[in-house]
Structure 1
């Protein structure tokens, strides 16, 4: 079997390549300037193809002879200025891929989405796969782009594709991976003083990759699954992280008035070009919420046991 992975040079994509390598030959899409360091570290035989999600013709050429596509490529950003780029990459890129698969006749697609695409509500603290997306001030531009990307995938199913969607929460890799999903470690490594009042949902990248393979092997087509080991308060999350890293944990709850000041500072710093702090009014509101993305469905259908948060942090060092 020939398996094509978009976003293979990223954290999750590289672990998916390792996990699926026992099932077939791995093909990876990359651009000329893409770094392949994470994949190179895994020492896997990869058949490289140059293609761009914004170029359907190059996608069609890359798809020739492929049996399964795993779509992990996407843009993660909470900067309001990136709204057009988020739409271009996450929505139009997914649309182009789906159209190319239909055109070439590739039957199977595993789409890596995000729990952000499910949505959230301050009135509903526990969210599962049945939660219906609603317009809300809590939906970031990133969340909207991932939701619309999912609509493109479900449209592809209506046109003949077999699709499986996974919705991971925050993916925990190693500090050395240096990707957007590992930037959360910097907060403790820099020994910040304050923690947000809300909660964080998380999953070890090794668990996320293995579960994706298990769901594929179980042929769970036409389904979506939340991939999350659990949720804890930011206070507990940072305390466990600090303990593993030998750092001082944040010890003060972030007051609302100080959070408002931080939002203003982050926006002004981005305007001056001296900071990329991903904090704005929406992300500030989210940091105060206690929302749990329920993993009962994936646990019931796979019997999987997740790695503990302490184990993930010890491995991440």
Structure 2
């Protein structure tokens, strides 16, 4: 039986559809009953409402939180494979304790139970934020670049790195592990969270873009890679999942085109962020709440290029062009918002 944590999130919901479609025996956990409707909505992107409901009912749903050990203990009997997608994403300094609790302690709990119940294989969804940085911005970032604790990192990155350390501990205890490091994940269904907010803001009118270059990837490419890796002989390794390295200027242009809206034309300046302008305009896209750090400001203007050759070679994998991913996501956004 397969366990999916974070099944009510972007990656987890789309992953559950694929697993249910393959007629796999699945168990998934949720924290609040109200979050389950979003999963069913994601299923309808791929099939009829009737078929979506049928697939949804095939999943054994259990109420549990990864930071609640007694609850989590009841989830693991009969589990042979785990997709650990659950995480807290926030870039607010006020959420540091919560980030540590969920991302590090929660992952430690999952790892401990994988060991106790002798799970055969564990796939963990991490982030490119945990990768080391090259000396030059023009150098490609690979899986071999080690984390440097002396450089500036967001609290989110620090806690995801801590989670990775827990997963590597599982590999030392005999669990076959895989870590995937996706870039910014683009996909439909969660329009008020993470990259989904980009579609919402541009739909409502957004005039500014900024020059940050980073890795982007479609949610279904992330899932395809995870499934292929779990079904392969690969283990105790990590893989960057990035379709393309793109500027936010280009990504915002593609998004605007997909929504048939004017593309953002004006350059975002650092003074706008430093004076609090970003909070009124686009701050929530990146999780900024009441405060913003100097590293946050610099990060919006950073350039990072990620090398995806390892995953391509390991499982003969091909990525979907990010413009195509955005076009399809935008189409579903318009469909959802026409209801």
CA shift for structure 1 position 124: 4.2
Aligned positions of 1:74-223 closer than 5 A: 74-120=87-133, 123-125=136-138, 126-174=140-188, 177-223=191-237
CA contact (8 A) 1:138 1:286 kept: no
Match of 1:37 in 2: 37
Quote the Cα distance in structure 2 between the aligned partners of 1:122 and 1:102.
38
The 8 Å contact of residues 200 and 237 in structure 1, kept in 2 or not, is answered as no
Q: How many residues align structurally?
A: 309
Which residue pairs with 2:15 in the alignment?
A: 16
Per-residue CA shift, 1:137-191, capped at 9, x if unaligned? 5310000000000000101111121101111111111266543341222342233
Deviations 1:201-222 (A, max 9, x none): 2111111111111111112111
Equivalent residue, structure 2, for 1:300: 313
Which deviates more from structure 2 when the two are superposed, residues 189-198 or residues 144-153?
Answer: 189-198
| 3-state SS of 1:171 partner | strand
Contact 2:253 2:263 in 1 (8 A): yes
1:244–1:78 Cα change, 3 Å = same
CA distance in 2, matches of 1:248, 1:266: 22
Partner SS for 2:274 = helix
Distance 1:259 1:109, change over 3 A: same
Whole-angstrom distance in 2 between the partners of 1:192 and 1:177: 15
2:323 equivalent in structure 1: 310
**Conserved? CA contact 2:191–2:197, under 8 Å:** no
Distance between the aligned counterparts of 2:265 and 2:191, measured in 1?
Answer: 27
Q: Unaligned stretches of 5+ in structure 2?
A: 44-51, 331-339
Distance 1:175 1:38, change over 3 A: closer
Decide whether the 8 Å contact of 1:266 with 1:279 is kept in 2. no
List gaps (5 residues or longer) in structure 1: none
